[in-house]
Each structure stands twice: as C-alpha cells, then as structure tokens.
C-alpha cells in the first residue's frame, strides 16, 4: 500500500489539474492547472524508475554492497519533460500578458469575443 502512494498522488495531481482547466475561468489558474498535470506526469515517470533501497545511478560512486540502482532513463525523460514544460509555461504566460493588454481582463467569459 505504502508504495502506491506516489501513484495515488499522480492521479490526484492530474485530476486537480483537469478540474482547474475545466472549471476555473481565470487564465492564470488554467495555466496552474496545466502545470499541475505536468507535475503529475513527471512524478509518474520518476516513480516508475524508483526501486526500494536503490541508490542514484552513478556507477563511479557506487558504494560497496549495494547493487540496486534506480533506473536512469525515466529521470532523463523527466528532465527533458521539465525543460519542455518551462518553455511552454513561458510562452503561455507571455500570451496571457498580451491578452491582458488587449482586453484588460483575464476572465475567459469576458474575453469570449471569438464567437462562432
């Protein structure tokens, strides 16, 4: 059970993020929702690579007697994903700045000029 806690956290993070995206009307809060989903996915990747009692996967500084290492691949994937996430976040926030300049509000309902 105790080992499943990270997975439960992953699901919670993603669900909270989706909730924020669907029900929040403030653009910044929607962006927070996106970052929450992203953290959830990153946590999922990291958890996949973790083994109980393992050490960091650095062969040169391996202490005697410990043979379990956590998987390095998910960590590399997570790093890449974090970097991409930062780029996306920066772009989204800069777009929000522009939107605020144009409309003077961050409320989706008030901005809604893009009608069918």
Q: Is 62 in contact with 55 (CB distance < 8 Å)?
A: yes
Stretch that binds other proteins, among 36-44, 53-61, 62-70 (CB under 8 A): 36-44
Determine if 13 is a binding residue for other proteins (CB under 8 A): no
Stretch that binds other proteins, among 51-59, 62-70, 85-93 (CB under 8 A): 85-93
CB atoms within 10 A of CB 85: 18
Stretch that binds other proteins, among 29-37, 50-58, 59-67 (CB under 8 A): 29-37
Both structure tokens of 41 = 């996915």
Residue 41 to residue 46: CA distance in whole angstroms: 9
Q: Report the residue number, 55 or 96, with the smaller CB distance to other proteins.
A: 96
Instruction: Please give the full DSSP string across 33-73, using - where no structure is assigned.
Output: HHHHHHHHHHHHHHHHH--TT-B-S-GGGPPTT---B--HH
Question: Applying CB under 8 A, which residues contact other proteins?
Answer: 14, 21, 27, 30, 34, 37-38, 41, 44-45, 48, 73-74, 77, 80-81, 84, 87-88, 91-92, 95-96, 98-99, 102-103, 111, 113-114, 116
């Amino acid at each position: 059970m105790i080992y499943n806690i990270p997975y439960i956290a992953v699901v919670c993070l993603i669900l909270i993020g989706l909730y924020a995206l669907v029900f929040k009307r403030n653009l910044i809060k929607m962006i927070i929702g996106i970052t929450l989903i992203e953290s959830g996915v990153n946590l999922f990747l990291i958890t996949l690579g973790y083994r109980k009692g393992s050490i960091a996967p650095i062969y040169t500084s391996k202490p005697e007697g410990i043979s379990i290492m956590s998987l390095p691949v998910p960590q590399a994937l997570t790093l890449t994903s974090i970097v991409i996430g930062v780029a996306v976040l920066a772009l989204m926030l800069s777009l929000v700045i522009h939107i605020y300049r144009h409309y003077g509000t961050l409320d989706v309902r008030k901005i809604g000029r893009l009608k069918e």
